[in-house]
Structures are given as C-alpha cells and as structure tokens.
Amino acid sequence: MSLLTLNEATIKFGGLVAVNSVSFSLETGDLFGLIGPNGAGKTTCFNIITGVYAPTSGKIHFDGKDITGTPSNKIAKLGICRTFQNIRLFSSMNAIENVVVGGFLRHESTLGSALGYLPSAIKETNKLRSQAMELLDLVNLADVAESRSRDLPYGKQRRLEIARALATQPKLLLLDEPAAGMNPQEKMELLEMVRKIRDELSITVLVIEHDMKFVMNLCERILVLDHGEEIAQGPPSEIRNDPKVIAAYLGEAV
Ligand SMILES: Nc1ncnc2c1ncn2[C@@H]1O[C@H](COP(=O)(O)OP(=O)(O)O)[C@@H](O)[C@H]1O
Ligand SMILES: [Mg+2]
C-alpha cells in the first residue's frame, strides 16, 4: 500500500488551473522530488496535500485514508509535516523552544493553546526538552540550542525548521525549497541530513527544490510539473535527459 497517493488532483484559482490532474504515489521510505519552473504549481501541491486548500477535484489518500479536503491541523496529526518556502520560525524563541513547539502538536489541539502552556512546560518537561535536543543533534544544531532563532545564520534557521517539523513525529516530511539561499557547503550538509532523516528515522520525504544538482543527487524519483501539469516522472537519469524537461527550463536560471 502506498503511503501517499494523489489521484488526478486539480485546483483552480478563478480561471487559473494551478494544479491540473496530477497523479503520483509515494511508497514508505521514498525520497521523491517535485520540480518545475517558477509558478509550475509545486507549492500548491504541498498546499493541497497539507489541507491548506481543498482540491477542486481529484483525491488524496494518506496511510490508507482519504484525506481529500481534511483541514491542515488534522493532517498534521495524521503524520504529514512540512516546511515552508519562506522560513517561519518563532524568531524570538531560542532554537530548542522552537523544536519543543513542534512536539506539542502531538498533545494539544491547536498550536495556540500549545503556546499558552509553553513557558511552564519548557521548564518542567524534561522529556520534551531531551527529545528536542536529540533532534537538534540530528540536524547539527546542538551547539546553538540556546540561541535565539533570529540570531542564527540562514542555513541554520532552515535546518531548525526541519528539526521542528520532525518533532511532530511525521511519517511524511514535505520540504519546500530547503536549499534555497544556501551556499554549496550548506547544501551538501543538508543533503546528508535529509538522507539521514530517511535512513535513520524511516521518514518518507517529498522535496521541492530548484537546485537541479541537489535534487538529482538526493531523490530516487522525480516528478516534473510545468503550468500545473505533469510533463515527466521517473528516476533522475531519465529526467535529466528528457527533452520536455529541458524545454520547460529554457530561459530559467537553474
Ligand atoms: N491562493 C492562490 N490564489 C491564486 N493563485 C494562486 C494561489 N496560490 C498559488 N497561485 C498561483 O498558482 C500558480 C502556481 O503557484 P505555486 O504553486 O506557488 O508555484 P511554484 O511553487 O511551482 O513556484 C501560480 O501562478 C500562482 O500565482
Ligand atoms: Mg513554490
């Protein structure tokens, strides 16, 4: 049984078909890439998977359940967590507090109520802290656990977002352009980290990424979108040489 299946998922915004009859399946343990030029509909795919928007038509199944149109807080509890194209951390909290907030999702109905409990809980709940510390360790941020997140360099903020997402104990992790703005060294570290997340935590990963080298090195299968539609799907070796893919990227700086 597949972990995630999109079956002819479509979403329209007024006259614009942002995602047009897109179908794909992820098996548990997959490292799957979603690529395409700007405006192709990649982030919108994440938005319909995570319940930000309900698809106009088509079906989405996760872990044996029909999750089409399920609101995002419920989706998160079912085990799908994401990071955003633009960093969304609690900037005045330190690194470990940001990760602890992620962990609350497992226990509280909304993030709002979780935040109400946060200061006392952080003091009292050593267990949450030690779990958060393990995740910081996994993303190589243990040494900055007490630093305010807004004071961290950009590459570390991106990794912190991933640690916070992992604190929700997802089965499926969605990463939206995690390497954006990173230097080559940071990208290499990120690539190793995402592999470790899949290999050691057995988490299935769906990643949107603009950096071709990154996505080709990381992913075992790739889906290419253009104008909301699938133009190719397959292993990197096929995608790299696909004339439709090359044409779609003409004129794009990749
Ligand atoms: N909430 C929305 N309302 C209207 N149009 C949207 C909305 N979200 C995305 N779009 C449009 O859908 C298209 C795909 O956007 P997006 O999924 O963000 O592209 P990508 O992530 O591939 O760059 C774009 O034309 C974008 O302007
Ligand atoms: Mg996007």
- Of residues 129, 136, 76, 80, the one with CA closest to residue 105: 76
In whole angstroms, give the CA distance from residue 111 to residue 117.
10
The fold adopted by the segment(s) 1-74+172-181+204-254 is: Rossmann fold (3.40.50)
Ligand 2 center from residue 103 Cα (angstroms): 26
Is 60 exceeded by the pLDDT of residue 132? Answer: yes
> Where do the domains of the chain lie?
1-74+172-181+204-254, 80-169
Q: For a substitution probing ligand 1, which of 44, 46, 230 has the most ligand atoms within 8 Å of its CB?
A: 44
Closest CA relative to residue 156, chosen from 113, 119, 133, 189: 189
Common-topology check for domains 1-74+172-181+204-254 and 80-169: yes
Q: Kindly list the protein residues whose Cβ atom lies closer than 6 A to any atom of ligand 1.
A: 13, 16, 18, 36, 38-44
Q: How far is the CA of 231 from the centre of ligand 2 (A)?
A: 17
How many angstroms does the Cα of residue 225 sit away from the middle of ligand 1? 13
CATH of 80-169, one of 3.70.10.10, 3.20.20.70, 3.40.366.30, 3.40.50.300: 3.40.50.300
- The pTM for the full model equals 0.91
What is residue 121's predicted lDDT score, i.e. its pLDDT? 56
The predicted-structure confidence for 24-47, as pLDDT tens digits, reads as follows 999 999 999 999 999 999 999 999
Query: Which is more confident, 254 or 229?
Result: 229
Q: What is the residue with the minimal CA distance to atom 1 of ligand 1?
A: 13
pLDDT value of position 117: 59
* pLDDT higher than threshold 80 for residue 234: yes
Predicted confidence (pLDDT) per residue in 150-195, tens digit? 999 989 999 999 999 999 999 999 999 999 989 999 999 999 999 9
Higher pLDDT, 119 or 197: 197
The amino acid occupying position 241 is N
pLDDT surpassing 90 at residue 249: no
Ligand 1 centroid, distance to 251 Cα (angstroms): 20
pLDDT recorded at residue 103 = 76
HSE at residue 221, side-chain half, CA atoms within 13 A, is 14
Per cent of the chain over pLDDT 90 is 76
Q: What is the pLDDT of residue 243?
A: 93
Average pLDDT along the chain:
90
Q: DSSP assignment of 11-32, as one string?
A: EEETTEEEEEEEEEEE-TT-EE
Question: Of all protein residues, whose CA lies closest to atom 18 belonging to ligand 1?
Answer: 43
Given a cut of 90, whether residue 102 has pLDDT beyond it is no
User: Average pLDDT in the 231-252 region?
Assistant: 90
Residue nearest to atom 26 of ligand 1 (CA): 39
- The pLDDT score that the predictor gives to residue 89 is 86
Q: Confidence class of residue 109 from pLDDT cuts 50, 70 and 90? A: very low
Higher-confidence residue of 90 and 113: namely 90
| pLDDT tens track for 50-60 | 999 999 999 99
Round to whole Å and give the CA distance between 178 and 162.
9
Query: With bands split at pLDDT 50, 70 and 90, how would you rate the model's confidence at 127?
Result: confident
Q: 207-218, pLDDT tens digit by residue?
A: 999 999 999 999
